[in-house]
Structure 1
């Protein structure tokens, strides 16, 4: 009988999207009879602890990413914060060697954490950003990202390698040094096919502060003019789940995967950020949506504009949004118009880590830099 492998799975703590799209990866590791060792920090780690209570968890150095209060200042703030981000990348790379030894790690899957590469065991990075949009500095930000991607054995891309994809130009480039594997869109949800509608609108918030709170406050004010039943998910991962009802709005601080699946099934329209994980989830479920990209977040703005230009989903800026704009949704094709399927993650996992030699010599006391 083949020995179980210990697979380190480490999502970036930047909003909740990186953590939630790792859920189908973790499930596939378990399906293969292997053992997921989950590593992250902050809200991402907290969320996964709620999903996998009996798993082994490791807290990694925090990138400590926070958005600017004004969207136009985001790039300046990211440049200002870059030294502490590079320091966190170096620190997580330093502690990786200890983690490999202590937990007998056989393989690494990093979702956008740039320091978890190794020359001792197979390492994978999950990213859809083979082009990193940053306005006038896009070439530089892309090259910096590719520099780290090339340190990994494989780059898993959660999209399809076709023109009619979800990410547009983000997930494509001509760099042949990168071993690319297109997974298809990743989602923790399953399309049930039928449901009984309970909510006319579901507000689904996520993302770093302070922009999450700024949008929350604006939408609560806008929803005073909305007559339908609303489910409002604040996206705050706290110790206890809280639910309150105020008039036509039911508020939750967060929902587990199973709870969120039911909520999405019972909601007719979804109002959310245009984060890529959210787009993948709503495409999987075939939901109608309206997007409000995070101000100054070039990728979210690009994705929202791309889907609007393709007549798939309408969008508006945070400053311009009015609740009456939701009436535009019926004029768009919807995310279900994009057909795609997810590759068998279990098979990819087996192929990626099949070369791990169960009887190999002890890992040397050195790690690549």
Structure 2
């Protein structure tokens, strides 16, 4: 660990890979601005960031043990059932963070949806694209509860635009708020490059089990009769990268950020979940997409429906998807181009306030 008085703890939630991937540009910008990021998470989110930044100090946090139901309809019930474990993990990470503040002489904390990663002693930022947490009939209470926790942080950064058009709609915008909100513009670790098209279709699977495996198996079967060249990223983070070519489909278990950037730029269209991190990546790279939201995940279902309604991207439910659906992509205008740049220097002033 190099000596530095500019240590910033960056702690994404381990829920799929989206929270970790959108922290990658933040970590890069912290380094550019003279800070030393320290990574803190658990499970595959921690593994991903350790692969991206092998030279950075990292800390394992308690797991929230978020599990998906096999049947999407039971998703909310499964979360409620697991909530005691989650609350316990939040208490544990709070205690751990107290020690980390002293051990690493932290100057700030950036928590992506980890409710216990904050401190009253130093500026603590909460990153979320969900000020409103959709949960069906319980949306009002889940949103108020979430906002209550956000209030405990110094600032809340929303990776979207405040004005219309924006990417999050009612998820990331509330009318009256006593929260200290900053709209920082969409976050993506990827850059648009003009590369020759190699693949007609890129398939990117992500998200927690068992839904990730269920979608993988379904799409492998559905793509048997697809004629174009396909690159298929399974989203399985393993110790070694594996590549397998079967007829016109090239399979990878996972890819690094640079490899994903190249592959998306080389692909005509992308089939993936409607998770917000994927949405930001596709908007940045100006790629047309087809979405399959994770069953029972209200936020992904809301985004998929919103984009379809606005003529931006088509979607299908996981159990209704057919390969012919991909022909609909041409009828939609695609995600809006992102012009605004994040003003990192301005945002990071918070950590130099002492």
Give me the TM-score of the superposition, normalised by structure 1: 0.94
2:100 counterpart of 1:99: yes
Q: Decide whether the 8 Å contact of 1:40 with 1:58 is kept in 2.
A: yes
In the TM superposition, 1:220-259 aligns within 5 A as 220-259=220-259
Cα RMSD, aligned residues only = 1.0
User: Which secondary structure does the structure 2 equivalent of 1:316 belong to?
Assistant: coil
Q: Give the gaps of 5 or more residues in structure 1.
A: 357-369
Structure 1 residue runs of 4 or more that deviate by more than 4 Å after TM superposition: none
2:350 counterpart of 1:352: yes
How far off its partner does 1:345 sit?
A: 2.1
Structure 2 counterpart of 1:9 = 10
Q: What is the count of residue pairs matched by the alignment? A: 351
Structure 1 counterpart of 2:303 = 303
Task: Rate the CA distance shift 1:260–1:346 in 2: closer, same or farther, 3 A.
Answer: farther
Structure 1 counterpart of 2:56 = 55
How far off its partner does 1:175 sit?
A: 4.1
Query: C-alpha distance in 1, partners of 2:32/2:338?
Result: 26
2:58 counterpart of 1:82: no
Q: Decide whether the 8 Å contact of 1:227 with 1:248 is kept in 2.
A: yes
Query: C-alpha distance in 2, partners of 1:182/1:281?
Result: 17
Query: C-alpha distance in 2, partners of 1:154/1:240?
Result: 38
Structure 2 counterpart of 1:132 = 133
How far off its partner does 1:224 sit?
A: 0.7
How far off its partner does 1:176 sit?
A: 2.9
Structure 2 counterpart of 1:177 = 178
Query: C-alpha distance in 2, partners of 1:197/1:4?
Result: 46
Q: Decide whether the 8 Å contact of 1:31 with 1:346 is kept in 2.
A: no
1:46-79 alpha-carbon deviations (Å, 9 max, x no partner): 0000000100000000001111000000011111
1:250-285 alpha-carbon deviations (Å, 9 max, x no partner): 000110011111111111110000000000000000
Query: C-alpha distance in 1, partners of 2:337/2:168?
Result: 12
User: Which secondary structure does the structure 2 equivalent of 1:169 belong to?
Assistant: helix
Structure 1 counterpart of 2:68 = 67
Structure 2 counterpart of 1:25 = 26
Q: Give the gaps of 5 or more residues in structure 2.
A: none
2:143 counterpart of 1:145: no
Query: C-alpha distance in 2, partners of 1:4/1:95?
Result: 20
How far off its partner does 1:172 sit?
A: 1.0
User: Which secondary structure does the structure 1 equivalent of 2:170 belong to?
Assistant: coil
Query: C-alpha distance in 2, partners of 1:292/1:36?
Result: 34
2:112 counterpart of 1:111: yes
Give me the TM-score of the superposition, normalised by structure 2: 0.97
Could you say which structure has the greater relative contact order, defined with CA pairs below 8 angstroms and 6 or more residues apart? 1
Q: Decide whether the 8 Å contact of 1:126 with 1:156 is kept in 2.
A: yes
Structure 2 counterpart of 1:363 = none
Query: C-alpha distance in 2, partners of 1:153/1:342?
Result: 23
How far off its partner does 1:183 sit?
A: 0.6
1:305-332 alpha-carbon deviations (Å, 9 max, x no partner): 0000000000000010001100000000
